[in-house]
Structure formats: C-alpha cells, structure tokens
Structure 1
Amino acid sequence: MSRTCLVVAILTCLFSTSTVFPEKMIHGTIQNADTNEPLPYANIQVKGTYYGTISNADGQYSLNIREVPATVLVRYIGFHSKEIVITGDSPEQQDVVLQPTVLEMPAVIVRAEDPGVTIMREVIRRKQIWRKQLRTYQAQAYTRLRLENDTSIVFISESTSELFWDVDQGQREVIKSKRETANIRSQHILANASYLPNFYDDDVEIQGTRVIGPTHPNALQHYTFKLVGQRSRDNKIVFDISVAPKSKLQPTFVGQLSVLDEEYAMIECDLKPSDAVIMPFPIKEWNVFHEQQFSDFAQAVWLPLDVRIGGDILISLPGIHFPRITYNQVSRISDYDVNAVLPDSLYKDKKIVTIDSISIRSDSLLISRADMIPLTAQENSAYKTIDSTMTLEKAFQPKGFIAWLVRLRVGTDNDEAKAAQEEPQQKSPKAEGSDGQNEPKKKRVNLFRGFKPQFVYNRVDEYHLGVKYRRSLAKGLALNLSGAYKTGSKRWAYGGGLTCLWGKGRATTALSLQYQSNTETCYHSDNYPIFYNTAVNLFGLEDYFDYYWNERVTVKISKAVPQIRSHLTLGFADEIHSSLGKNTDGDILGRKLIQRSNPPIEEGRLRSVSLQVELGEEWAPWGIVGQRGAKLTIEHSSPELLSSDFSFTSVNAAIYWRQVTYLKRRLLPNVLDLRLVAGTSSGQLPLQRYGILDVHSGAFSPFGVFRTLGVYPYEGEKHAALFWEHNFRTVPFELLGIRYLVKNSVGLILHGASGRTWIAESRLKNLPFRLHHLDSFHYEIGLSVNGLFGFSRIDFTKAIDNRGWFVGFGIARIF
C-alpha cells in the first residue's frame, strides 16, 4: 500500500462518524394527547446518560444523539412518560404525544399539621444528607437571553459553555460559543448560566439579595407550606405544595413546589420573590418569576436541568420615564460529571465567566448545534430583521420633560457611529505589503483638549474667571497650568506644576511640584465643595467660607498601597499668607444681603512638613452611599527647623464607618452610618489653620453637619464631633402596610450629632474679631423622610441643649 493510501485510510477511520461514532439529530414537538396543545419545557433525556435537553415555550425541541441506537425518555409532570427508540434509520422528525395521567385523590384526613409541612420537613432532611456528598460538578450549558421593549424584541444573545462548581470556591463558566443579534457588540457576553440560581441552595441570591431558599435548614420557620394538589410522574405521586412567607420583612419566595413521593425530592419549582425583596430607586417596578426543574444524578444527588427567568422592569426618574424592559432567560444544563476533579487553573482568575479563545466557535456553528433549545418563530424573525442600527438607546428612548438631554446624547453617538459606517473603508497598508510609514494617519485636532474653564463667585473675589490646562508630556509625566482674573480684587491668580507617576497597576507612586498664587479658604470643609458655595453666593445666601491670599510652593510624594487600601503622602510647603477684604454683596437675584466682613488672618511666611494617611474609601460628601475609611493629617511648622514665622503642630482625623444592623440578607439592609471628626494642636496655631465643625448652609443639611446650627462653621484650636444616622429604609412603611411609599423607596432615618470646639481664653481675648466657636457640647436628634421624589430627603431635627428646631433638605441616601 502506498503512503498516500495509508494516510487516507487513517483519516477515514478517524473522521468517519457514521461507522465509529454514529450521531443522530432529532427534533419535533411535545404535545398533550387530549388537547393537541404543546407542552412547554418538557424534559427530554437520553436514557442511561446524563445528557438531554428541554423543549421551548412552544413545545419544540432538538436533540443531538451522540450514539445510536439509543432510547430517548420524554417526561412531563401529570403525563405518562414515553420512551422512543432511535436508530440510524429513524426519521429526524420525532413528534411526541403524551397522555395525561388520571390520579385518584385520596380521602382528606384532618391533621394538626398540614401535609405540605410534613413533606417539606422530609425534603429538607434528605437534602442535608445528599448535599454533603456533593463536592464538585462539571456540566454543559446552553443559555439564551431575550430583551424586549413595549413593541418587539430588542436583542437576543446565546451561548454554549462549560459549567464548573466547587463547594468551597464557587462557580466558574467557560464560554465555548456564542451568537447574538447584529446590534450587540461581539465582545459582550450577555447570556451566561453561572449567575443563575439553584433553588436547592440554602441561600438563593436574587439581584444582590440573599433570599432564604425553600429547602433551607430553617425554612419551616420562614415559610408556610400547604399541600394544594397531586399529580403523577413515572407511576409516582408528585405533591404540589404552595409556598408563602411567614414574615413581612425577611427576603423569601412565593409560589409552588413539586415534590416526588418516595424520593422526597423537589423536582420542580415556580417561584417569585416576596414583597420583602425590594429594588432601589430608580426602579419603580420589578416583576420576576423563576422556574426550575431538577433530576437525580450520581447516587440521588439532585441538580438543575434548567432555569427559566422572566419578568419586566420599569425605570423612572423625575422628568424621565423609560419604556418597560421585558426580559426572558432560559438555560439548559446537562452532561453532569459529579464530584469530578476540576482544573486548578479555573480558580486562579477571579473572573467567574471567561471565554475560551481557542475553541470559541463562529455564529454559524452555534446555529447548527442540534441540542440548543429551538428558537420560537418570533425569535427567528428577530435574528433576520434586527440590524446594527437598531441600538438599545433607540429601543429604550425615554420620555419626559428632561428626556431631551438623554436623546441629545444618544443622537450624537448615533450620528458619529453612522458617519463611521459611511466612511469609505481603506485598505490596510500592511495588507498591501507596506509598513505603512509613508502613509501617515490623519488625526482630528482638538484645539480645546486639556483646557477646563474655572468659575467661582464669593464675597471676596466676586467673579473668578479662569481656565485650567493639563497636558501629558510623556508617559507618567504631566504638566498643569492655570490662570484667572478676579473682578472684585482686580488681580490675577496663576499657577502651574509638574506631576510624575510611576509604578504598576494601582500601586503607583507620584511626585508633584506645584506653584500657586491664589485665594484660599481659611478652613477646609469635607461637606461643602467650592462649586456649592458659588451657587449659594450667587443666589444671595450667606457665604460659608472666609478667605486669605496664599502664594505657595508645594512638593509632595505619595504612595498607593492597594493591599491595605491605603494612600500615604509626604509634603513640604512654603507659603506666604496675607489678608483679604470683602469686595461685594451682590447676587443674581438682587436680594442685597449684606455679607459679613472677611476677617483678617495672621500674616507671614509659613513653612511646614506634613504627613497624610488615608485608609479605605475616600470620603464622598452628602451621604448618598455608605463608606468605610479613615484619614489622618499631621502638619508641623517650626522657626528653628524650617525658618517659618509660625510654630505649631496640628493633628486632624476623620473616621467614617457603615455597619449593617438588621435584615442583612437584603440588597439594602438597615445600616448605621457613623462619622467621627477630631483635631488638636500644640504651639501657636494660626487662624487660617483652625479646625472646624460644619453646620447647615441655607436649608441644605447633608450628613456630617450640625443641622440645628447654621450660617457658617464653628472654629477652634481643637474640635471633636460624632455624627450618626440609622437608616431603617422602607421597613416602617412595610410594617404599616403602606405599599405606595415602599414601592417608591421612601424610608425613615433616625439621626443625631454631638460635638464642640475649644480655644484658649488668651487667644480668644486677643483676636481682633469675634470667633465663631462652640464653648460647650451641642446635642441634637432628628428624623428624616428619605427618598422623596427619588433624590431628596427632608430632615426634622431638634437641638437637645437649647430650644432650636430645624427643617431642611438633603440628598437621599439611595444606597
């Protein structure tokens, strides 16, 4: 035999599936014999294997039988199961008609305990036994996600994947193939099975909420189970048991379970979250259902055959209303390998979903897979009609009196995308054998890139009109410049500097050299940024800050330490301080408020070294989200060491912390937020370095300020204060049954604060003006209605140490 003939013979043996590994593709419809109606999501399995599929919503199925002859088992609760023998000569079209079972109901016996409770007690007991045997599994999955608006399907995304689960390390998924409608970017994996729930778990996570599962060891304490009917499957009784929560507050499910007699195993569930599973603003409505089937694998270990999720979401903000979003997701899971040895490489990466770039298949190969769940007629039509121009932005165009802002942005993006599509396609120079060096690319020049306007208004500068400029000079090296004119003092402010960055990832080091000659505030507020104070002044309210002129040079080196979420900064400053006077009482409303005079400072040259340590999250004002972090700042100035006109050491600290208190299973549990601020000093601390305690500004009263004290902050050489809020969220209104307020995320917050400032009597007597300070502890407590109109809150606060009351508003604690 020639070498060529030998090679051909070997290849024929390897790839001739018709003789060595015969396959057979079958498809058809599962129907009710009495009504001819399709049976949706019927269970189709190759007998003697863990391989199978389910029918779609129209009862249609397809199955790729890997080796024939084979026996296919079709099962549906309430119907007689049917077996079909498939051989190489069997037709591909295999429609299956199932006969309904007739089950005689036994006589009702009155018991002290509902039979549903007795059955579920045994289900839970047996689950705890077999679940201990389950350490790992590997399986094959097919997943399809469909999104719709009010009128049609918006997109479809499909994937096939390998699922891996480890009892200690959790879930991983490797995408093997995928396809989606033409309006979805190919790098996005929208359809995956790894985040889908398993209702046999003790805790089932639903959109960030840990819901108590119906087979949780303590499920009988949280659920009311009632036997509501009986059906049959494979000559065994199937008990239908209703599920209802006992508590208004604990996250649970509502719906029905189906339990197989003798095995006492849950084989099907149809559940939705209870009213205690609440979505935050701006979600106005959230309706969802979950359906799942189970089968036994490897010594009565019960695992999911599928999961089907459907529902709709309504998102609405003041002035913007989006169309209702309807979604449907289905996953088929088969080919389980229970307690398999999983590759260690799976868990080296923290990503739960990854793409197998080597074996990822094209769309056409996914379409040809026979074991995918067949598309419905509507889905087939969507694949043919949806093109790349039918974007999600177009499909979910909002309505409302400020919706034009969103439409304007979307229109701009679409115009740019359309222009890019219409632009003639140029051949790559390298494809023509050129290195491309002789054909420089045309770049659009943006003359304003790097420039940022500045606008500030206060009683000293009047209008501060300027611009900032930032430019990258090289990798890791940036230049910044600034300049502005102040109409009140009729003088220029200017500055500039260089910043050098090096390091990998988040573990960066920065060296900064800066010069600035400008107006500065005498004290720093963590709660009122300059842009807020500008708005306050423009609308004729009291200026919150005092000011001085500072000409300074600073050198700072900072180091990020991501392992402990910290940031350290060492600095040196050389500053020349001088006093400024008030220049205007004006405002755009013509209120003619007489602003207080700007007090003088202690003038001179201040040279200092400083150390700043930040731990955890950086403080974000106005209390929209809870935070955990701390900040410590130490500054030292000395005439002997630094030739400074001032001699002092100051230490300032802030600690902010969120602690979950009640209903910890919820996406938004009850929480206690704390903020502790304190500062002390030694030596002669200049006025422009005094610490402060913030108070309300106008009617605005964010978290971290004294709400019953106002106008401008309290100052001192030393200060200390504790601010706290306990957010009960919607729980009070849930208990009262006021669902309208619950639905609109309106809740209650109990809040309070206490603190004071200190200043030496000798300093106080020698000051040329009256310093705003607290000479004793101030206490206050109040109640806030949170989440009004989604974004706002109203604060009712009572001072304990005096008769003061305050009613103000703030930004809602959304999270």
Structure 2
Amino acid sequence: MRFRLISFTILLLLTPVYVFSQTEISGTIYDGQTGETLPAATVILENSLRGTISNEEGKYSIQVDQLPVTIRVSYIGYESFNVVVDENSPRVIDVRLFPSVTQMEEIVVTDRDPGLTIMERVIERKKLWRANLDSYQSEAYTRQILENDTSIVSITESSSTLYWQKGEGHREIQKSTRQTSNINADENFAGVRYLPNFYDDNVEIAGYNIVGITHPDALSYYHFKLLETLQMDGVPVYKIEVTPKRKLQPTFKGVAFVLGRQYALVDVDLKPNEVVNFPPPVQDFDLSYKQQFSNYGRDFWLPVDMRIEGRIRIGLIGLQFPAINFKQVSRISDYQVNVSIPDSIFNNQDTFTKADTTYKEEVTFVEIPLTDEERRAYETIDSTQTMEEAFRPEGFLARMLDDEEEERSGPLSGIGNLFPDGVGLRAKYNRVEGVHIGLNYQNEISNLSLNTKIFGGYSFNSETWDYGTNLVKQIATLDRISLDLHLQYQQTMDTQYQSNNYTVGMNSFVTLIGGDDYFNYFRNEQLGVGVEVKNILDKTDLKIMGRHEIHRSTLTDEVVDFRLFDWVNERRLNPGISEGTVRSVSAEIGYNVQERNFGFAGNRQILLKGEFSNSALGSDFDFSSLMVSIDWNFGTFYQRRLFANTLDIHLSGGTILGTPPIQKLGSIDGSLSRFTPFSILKTKPYTPYVGNNFGLAVAEHNFRTIPFEILGLNYFVEKGWGIILFGGAGFAEGTDEFSGLSMQSDGIHSEAGVSLNSIFGILRLDFAKRLDAPGYFFGFSVPRYF
C-alpha cells in the first residue's frame, strides 16, 4: 500500500530528459552586483537548438560537440552575456549578469488593463506559429526527488529521447537511468512524456484538464494584469499577473513573463487554483510549476525546462502518513523541428518505453548539476532506507497493521492457518436456516485450464445440508476470445427472488444485528451445464445454460428470532412456493458487466437475460422471461475537474409470460433495512416488489462539493463532503394468478430526495420522500466517489 502511494506521488512529478556530447563546459552564474547565485538561468549554444538551465545553487553544465562555440547566458531582468569558448578556453566559466536599468513602455495605458492587450497578442501570435508545427524530436534530462519532513528520501534521474507529432501526442524512450541505492532501476520511471507545456491550449495537471493561459478562450477564464515592465537585451519583458476569473473551474494563478515585440511567453510561475485538490484521505495537496521557453532564434517557442515543487499529505482517523515533498527538474534540448519521425515510434501505443537492450545507446549521462544536498544523499542513502521506512504511518491503525505483519498475533489470526490452501470458511444466518456453517474449496489446475469449486455446510435450525460443485473448463481460445464449459450441481437453500444488489452474506449481517430478513427461502436441487464465450465482442460475454431443478417448499412453524437489537417486532413466516420440476434453457449477454459496487463508482454496462421453460423439456411449468438492466454514467458540469459532476442512470425491468412458479417472478429491490445503495427504491424498506411485469428507473446527480463552494462553506469543501439529488420510480404487478401477492406494488412507486455524500470519506446519508404516497425515509450507503 505504501509503495503504491509513493508511486502515485512520483507520477505527479511529470518526468526527465537528456543530451550527449563530448566537451563539458560548467560554472556558476551570479548577480553581478550582489554576488548572489541565479537559479534557473538559461544557457543556450548560439546557432543551435541546444540549451540547459542552472540549478538551485546557480551552477550549470552543458555539453558541446565541437569548439569554438558561443554560449549565451540570460535571465529575465538582466543583460544577457555571450562567451566564446575555444580550445584554449578554461572549461569552468563563471558568469556574472548585471540587471537592466532601463524600463521601457510599449503599450499605451487606457481604461483597459494593458495585460489583456498583451495576452491577446500572445494568443494571436501563437496561432500563427503553432499552425506550422508538425513534429519535433528532442533530448531530455529529468531529476525527481522525494523528501519527508527531515531529509531527501530518494533521487531518480533519467536521460531520454522525446518525440511529438501532431495528432499523435508524445512518445518517450528512456536511454539511461541513475538513482539512489534504495530504488531499483526497474522502478525508475523518470521522464517527460507527461510534462506540462504551458503554451498548450489545455494543460493536464494531476488528472485535471485546465484551460491554459494561451487558450483561445483564455480571456474568459482569466484576469490578466500588467504588474511591471522589465528589460532584457533592450527588449521589454512584461510581467503579468494571472488570476482566475471562474472560481469553480480548475485554472492557474501566478505570473507570466511576455517578451515584447515578439509577444511570446518566455517564463511562467504558476500554481493550480484551490479547485485542483483531492477528496479524503488526501488532507493536503499543493503544486507549483515554473517553465521557460525559447525559440533558439527560430520560429517556434518550445519548452526549455520544467521545475515542479509539491507537497501531499495523506491520512484518515487512526492512520497518518508523513508529508511527502517532491521536486522535479527537467531540461529539454537538442530540438529537431518538423522532422520525419519513424512510424514505428507511434505504432507503439505505450507513451513510455523503459531503457532496455533494444534502445540502449552509448551515451554520456548529461545532467543539471547536483546540489550539495543531493550529492550527500547519493553518498549516504543505502538500500536499507526504503520508502516504507521513510513514510511509515502513525496512529492506532498503523500499529495494528504492524502487529499483523510482524507478529500475526490478532485474536483471529490463527483461524486461517487451520485450513489448507484453497479452503475457506462458509457462514450465513437467516430466519429459516438459523446459523449455517460450512467450508468452501477452490482449486485452479492451470495445465488443464480447469477451475474447481466445492462447498458444503450444515444449517442448525432447518437441519439441512447444503453442498455442491462448480467446474469451469477452458476448451478453446482465439486472440482475446475464450470458450469455457460450465458444469454445476448443488443442493441448497435458495432465495425465492433474486436481488440485483444484495448478497446472502450482507442479508445475514443485517438480520443478525436486528434488521428484517430480506429474502424468502426454498430448497433447490439443481444440475446445470452450459458454455460461456468471453469477449465475443469488445467487453461482451455470452453465456448459455441448460438446467434441471427440483423446487421444494421450506415450511416451518417457527422462525429463528435471535437478533442483537430489536429493530423489528417479530420475524415473518417463510411462505411456500410452487413446488415441482423446472427444466429450462437460459441465455445472458452482458456488455462491460462489473461487480456490484452499490453506487461507489459509476458504471456503463448492459445486461440482457432470457429463460425458456416448457413441458416439452420435461418441465412442470411453461413460461418465458426476458429481463434487461442498463447502468450508464454521464459527465455533466465542470468536466475539466478530476472528478466532474455526474449523472448516473439505472434502468431495469422485464416480463414473464406463461405460468411461471412464484419463485421465478421478477423483483425490484427496496432498501436492506436502512442500507440504501444506488439502483433501488429507497422508500421501499425491508422487502422488494415482486411480479410478472416489473420496471425500475432511478437517477441521481452528483454535484460534489460545488454547492458548498458556492455558499462559501469551506469546512465541508475541505472535508470533501458533497450533495447528491436523486429520484426514482418503479412497479411490479402480477397476472390474475398472482394478483393477491402481497409484495406487488400498488401502481407506480415514486420518490425523490437528497444525499449528503462522503461524510468523513466513508459514509453517505440519504433523505428520501415518497411522492405517490405519504412517507419519508432515512438511510445510509457507501459514498459515491467516481
């Protein structure tokens, strides 16, 4: 868990770069008046597309292929300095830059802030040169640093080649790596493929799609204010304040520097606004970006570097991780613009290829010089100083995890050791069976492509045994398509109606602590055989089964009424069923069908089921059923956020023709006691609706924290609490044969309500009102996150 957390942090950093050469020129860049060092000063080789930047201590290093060469050093607000290096020149050259003293005005001040006019010109100029930019190739270097509150924890460095092509995006090939000894080379993913380019229309930051400050519509999203006019080499440089205009959209704030006359960005110092954050368990999240651009004397303005600093703190009650501080510096150089890039580069859909024998080259690892602190980290960090140790959490949950890992001494820790591999405990509880205890066994024989499941157990109140087996044999594969054979036999206590949301285990817990038993029960002896085709179409599976079932009622004079709390007056009796033999053929086809998540995340899935039973098959019942279920999730408002507002819809229903047994009717789920997940009728407590014809339509819109942001209730925003509006309608009706069934609806049951979502990150509270009849209902469920 901890290492995945660290990996997530590293991905936020956004990668590294490299160059190879023969002669190294290095030195330190100073302010000529104060003697202070100048970090991130640009160092460019004249008449080339190669450059670098100085580190935090003002130190630089650049490789040159041949001599003589002219090196140009520049810094905003200072006069640039050119130095010619030949065979006789020293290889260590310190540079002193002197501030420009003349301020120049090029914009006539009016009642409209000049910053707006300047940025309009930047946007228009960008449209012209960006239209002619088709591709580029460059060399990159990146260094990523992780720190806790006391020291550097790890360093990873990388040299790579970066490719970009219009319409294809980026590809990166890592060529060489270096890292502290507590990081394995295969864990070094430093690179520049996700490097934000602040000249782009849209900038991806931590999953947020943010409008760039040079977007064609940037003036609708930002206020631009001219702060001052500086000078560099006789050309004005405008320092412009950037502030968000739309407070609820993810945007940037900070400053941008624009080179006059050419109206091009040369430097930005920006941070995402407060909208760019994460819900609990993330408690603190902060990012800042600095980036410089150069045209190297040509037409196109391309990134020279990227400097990132960030901090993230993760924790919840009983589990607090130390703050993770991270830095990244990347340098991009040796551009080749509008060159032909081999098709093989973009045929690979992976945006990042790690260094291996295929791409390894004899190159010199060229870096931005290490600081003194970084050099000491390389010298002192050894392989025993792991990420887990550096970011070890605190709190009672952390101590419990440590005890479990180190001593395995919890009160139930020995139970799992009583069973051999593949064997597990089987337990359930309901008003008919009482306590049921048994065992499950599962074994996969890979060389036979055979999966075996066997179970058995005893129910102490009904004095019955459950047992059965399920065999799945893969008999053919073709590309991603597989054909499986299913064979199953079971003698079990079955539920009279099927639930799309609740398991027998969930019902056992609710019944035991005092809730109403949701199901009715009968004995079912079943033999089934069938085939399943997985990925018959993209994300689509087809399953066809033939079944022979013998159904018997389970009638008891008394039901088990043990419960920890008195939530219901008394347990209802278990009704009888339509006894007999059911022989049927069923088919189901599903698209992108997922495990039930109770509304934790939105789904996009479709499931269609059909069953046919007839006396010609030897069945005591003649019926045909067709059922469909659709779940779909739509992004609505604020889609530039990592978690946009969403609309979730569930539609389900079906019809059963002929003379089905009562235990084959369809159902619409209500709430499981006070548990009210998505895709149910929340104001139908304790039992479902059941009938021949049935339908359900529910929808909810997740506004997330937006209502609290509008109201200025920052406490709830910081805690990640949100608002959900929901509504639903459903019905279940029977034919004349089942017209007296008490579990049918009286017309269409409709409801609406509001939810308080993600309370403390673990809970959702639902307040629902029934619309077709009097009544309110209060329930809870898992929070909706996605």
Question: TM bucket by the smaller chain?
Answer: over 0.9
Offset at residue 213 of structure 1 (A): 0.3
1:578-593 pair list within 5 angstroms: 578-582=552-556, 583-588=559-564
Aligned to 1:527: 501
Aligned to 1:482: 455
Q: Extract unaligned runs of 5+ from structure 1.
A: 1-20, 414-444
1:256-405 pair list within 5 angstroms: 256-297=255-296, 299-358=298-357, 369=365, 371-405=366-400
Q: Does residue 1:623 correspond to 2:622, yes or no?
A: no
- The question of whether the paired residues in 1 share the 8 Å contact of 2:47 and 2:296 is answered with no
Work out which of the residue numbers 558, 565, 569 in structure 1 matches 2:532. Answer: 558
Work out which of the residue numbers 721, 726, 732 in structure 1 matches 2:701. Answer: 726
Change over 3 Å in CA distance of 1:120–1:410 after alignment to 2: farther
1:119-164 deviation line (CA, Å, top 9, x unaligned): 0000000101100000111000001111111222221111100000
Offset at residue 405 of structure 1 (A): 3.9
Work out which of the residue numbers 698, 713, 738 in structure 2 matches 1:738. Answer: 713
Change over 3 Å in CA distance of 1:107–1:606 after alignment to 2: closer
Distance 1:177 1:510 in 2: 45
Q: Does residue 1:653 correspond to 2:625, yes or no?
A: no
Secondary structure of residue in 2 paired with 1:187: helix
Aligned to 2:765: 794
TM-score (norm 1): 0.89
Q: Extract unaligned runs of 5+ from structure 2.
A: 1-19, 409-416
Offset at residue 298 of structure 1 (A): 7.4
Distance 2:70 2:347 in 1: 41
Distance 1:105 1:299 in 2: 25
1:54-76 deviation line (CA, Å, top 9, x unaligned): 11111111112111111111111
Distance 1:613 1:716 in 2: 23
Distance 1:814 1:149 in 2: 29
Identity %: 40
1:390-409 deviation line (CA, Å, top 9, x unaligned): 22222222222322344346
Aligned to 1:439: none
1:263-294 deviation line (CA, Å, top 9, x unaligned): 10001001111122232332222110011000
1:18-417 pair list within 5 angstroms: 23-104=22-103, 106=105, 110-297=109-296, 299-358=298-357, 369=365, 371-408=366-403, 411=406
- The question of whether the paired residues in 2 share the 8 Å contact of 1:176 and 1:359 is answered with no
Change over 3 Å in CA distance of 1:505–1:595 after alignment to 2: farther
Distance 2:711 2:622 in 1: 60
Distance 1:598 1:447 in 2: 35
Distance 2:548 2:542 in 1: 20
Distance 2:744 2:202 in 1: 53
Distance 1:536 1:447 in 2: 28
TM-score (norm 2): 0.93
Distance 2:660 2:350 in 1: 52
Offset at residue 670 of structure 1 (A): 1.1
Aligned to 2:15: none
- The question of whether the paired residues in 2 share the 8 Å contact of 1:578 and 1:601 is answered with yes
Secondary structure of residue in 2 paired with 1:195: coil
Q: Does residue 1:452 correspond to 2:413, yes or no?
A: no
Change over 3 Å in CA distance of 1:97–1:110 after alignment to 2: closer
1:719-777 deviation line (CA, Å, top 9, x unaligned): 10101001111111111122221121111111000111110233334xxxx53110200
Offset at residue 489 of structure 1 (A): 1.7
Secondary structure of residue in 1 paired with 2:301: strand
Distance 2:724 2:155 in 1: 42
Q: Does residue 1:603 correspond to 2:579, yes or no?
A: yes
- Aligned letter for 2:769? K
Distance 2:369 2:26 in 1: 9
- Aligned letter for 2:581? R
Offset at residue 581 of structure 1 (A): 3.4
Offset at residue 565 of structure 1 (A): 1.4
Change over 3 Å in CA distance of 1:778–1:696 after alignment to 2: same
- The question of whether the paired residues in 1 share the 8 Å contact of 2:647 and 2:699 is answered with yes
Distance 2:33 2:738 in 1: 97
Offset at residue 491 of structure 1 (A): 2.3
- Aligned letter for 2:613? S
1:186-219 deviation line (CA, Å, top 9, x unaligned): 2123311101100111010111111000000011
Q: Does residue 1:500 correspond to 2:473, yes or no?
A: yes
Aligned to 1:442: none
- Aligned letter for 1:555? V
Change over 3 Å in CA distance of 1:108–1:91 after alignment to 2: closer
Secondary structure of residue in 1 paired with 2:739: helix
Change over 3 Å in CA distance of 1:449–1:374 after alignment to 2: same
1:314-359 deviation line (CA, Å, top 9, x unaligned): 1122332211111111110000001111111112221100124226
Work out which of the residue numbers 599, 605, 618 in structure 2 matches 1:643. Answer: 618
- The question of whether the paired residues in 1 share the 8 Å contact of 2:45 and 2:51 is answered with yes
Secondary structure of residue in 1 paired with 2:609: strand
Change over 3 Å in CA distance of 1:518–1:727 after alignment to 2: same
Distance 1:144 1:530 in 2: 53
Offset at residue 88 of structure 1 (A): 2.3
How many aligned positions are there?
A: 755
Aligned to 1:781: 752
Secondary structure of residue in 2 paired with 1:119: helix
1:645-724 pair list within 5 angstroms: 645-724=620-699
Distance 1:504 1:519 in 2: 38
- The question of whether the paired residues in 2 share the 8 Å contact of 1:496 and 1:514 is answered with yes
Secondary structure of residue in 2 paired with 1:801: coil
Secondary structure of residue in 1 paired with 2:214: coil
Distance 2:681 2:660 in 1: 24
